[in-house]
Structure 1
Amino acid sequence: MHAPDRAALFAALEATWPAARCEAHGPWLIRFGAGGGKRVSAATPTGPVSASDIPQAEEAMRALGQAPLFMIRSEDAALDAALQARGYAVVDPVALYVAPIERLAAIETERLSGFAIWPPLAIQEEIWAEAGIGPARLAVMERAKGPKAAILGRADARAAGTAFVALHGEIAMIHALEVSPRMRRKQTGRRMMGVAAQWAQKAGARWIALAVTRENMPANALYASLGMASVETYHYRIPVSAEAHTA
């Protein structure tokens, strides 16, 4: 069974964590994120672009009330170099992980250690809020079409973590997996991944995937330990002045 190609993975990423609105401006796809984070606010080229095309994207993003932000994928090397020359800095390098759904669905989950529900409970929203995932990102989850679930993880008979999972075709994408700081080191993340995979397998998924920043070493270690393979990377470019402002 061949793993999904990069185009399928990026399509699933887009569909399961959708922007509030997308606009075509020349060779650019401009996303309006409505405060939902970089992934739903970044511009990407839809075909070949040159340095002379960058101002068009910058103007379109500013017109939406957003600072210029570009997602750079492996095929965007020329754009990457042009943005660097223009004074843009790299932020948030990301790894895309994928695994056959049955690998994670086989994770042993204790009775009452996790549930797949929709909509999320208030306690899940509280755990997300504790991690900086507020209403704007919850709105992204609401926008996702097709099968989806909020995963509630439990440990010591208490709510311990939460995650969002949604399907696009045969790919289940995990987003916003968070474990409450006081409930860590209890295998909660591992069990939530198992619960999410079991739910997604029943919904028809053949693959489970997610995106995580490379600097999040505990998360990268968890996904590698579950047998997930890092198959693709991307990063963002923002003006250096914006990087200094957000540091």
Structure 2
Amino acid sequence: MTPQALYDLLEASWPPAFRHRVGPWAIREGQGGGQRVSAATAEGGWVPDDIALAEHAMAALGQPALFMIRAGDDALDAALDARGYVVKDPVVAYHGDAATIASPAPDPMTAFAHWPPLEIARDIWAEAGIGPGRLAVMDRVHGPKCALLGRRHDRAAGVAFAAIHEDTAMLHALEVLPAMRRQGSANNILRMAAQWALDNGAKGLSLVVTESNSPARALYASLGMTLVGQYHYRLRQAG
């Protein structure tokens, strides 16, 4: 998993509403779909004065000035820092072999894949703050995709979204109800996602998580997933 392969996978499995080229920048129009689909990225050679182009383009869309800092963006990171931009949500990426993650296969009663999302899946996402803007991102995805509903004690316990790009499935929006946490639901959802990936021709399973989420990272490591990349955002503070 090269850095560029990771970014391509992220974009394909969680796409912006529109992607505009403004000078050396890719300006993403998120329409309420979250940071990843609203952040600008450097796509060519730039100079410090070009930053204003991206700022104006994002303002015209009604979006905050937000940049994704990827591998090789050290100069941009420093330039934004000098302009008062703050670091926001450092993220790490994990990847694993789908066959390894899927074994042993979870009981079908503990998690299952489906599309479109059941109403209970939408309700769990809504409770976690994943509303219409992010559901619209899922709808925009082309190719194989699914919602994964986890169950515990005959009750809905958690949900996630997965989509395939080339030979890798990407997991997004994994949420477990607070009362159901630490009972294996996330583990079952991940293993079912890996099985769904295999059934649909993918060989690997990837996901991203905030760097500070130690419990989730421990779970991913326990399933044989390894760290393959990282990025963070730079956000201009109001005023």
Matched with 2:183 is 186
Matched with 1:125 is 122
Match of residue 239, structure 1, among 228, 233, 236: 236
TM-score (norm 2): 0.98
Report the alpha carbon displacement of residue 5 of structure 1 after superposing the two structures with TM.
1.7
Aligned pairs (5 A) from 1:1-247: 4-241=1-238
Tell me, in whole angstroms, the C-alpha distance in 2 between the residues paired with 1:9 and 1:91: 20
- SS, match of residue 38 in structure 1: coil
More divergent stretch after superposition (42-51 vs 103-112): 103-112
Aligned residues: 239
Tell me, in whole angstroms, the C-alpha distance in 2 between the residues paired with 1:86 and 1:121: 45
Q: Equivalent pairs: percent with the same residue?
A: 54
Tell me, in whole angstroms, the C-alpha distance in 2 between the residues paired with 1:197 and 1:179: 18
Q: Is the 8 A contact 1:37 1:137 kept in 2?
A: yes
More divergent stretch after superposition (31-40 vs 49-58): 49-58
Equivalent position amino acid for 2:130 in 1: I
Report the alpha carbon displacement of residue 108 of structure 1 after superposing the two structures with TM.
3.5
- SS, match of residue 34 in structure 1: coil
Equivalent position amino acid for 1:216 in 2: N
- Return structure 1 stretches of 4+ with deviation > 2 angstroms: none
Q: Provide Cα deviations, 1:50-78, integer angstroms capped at 9, x if missing partner.
A: 21110000000001111110000011000
Tell me, in whole angstroms, the C-alpha distance in 1 between the residues paired with 2:201 and 2:208: 21
Report the alpha carbon displacement of residue 7 of structure 1 after superposing the two structures with TM.
1.2
Q: Provide Cα deviations, 1:103-125, integer angstroms capped at 9, x if missing partner.
A: 11213312411110000001001
Q: Which runs of 5+ in 1 are unaligned?
A: 243-247
Q: Is the 8 A contact 1:50 1:79 kept in 2?
A: no
Tell me, in whole angstroms, the C-alpha distance in 2 between the residues paired with 1:173 and 1:111: 21
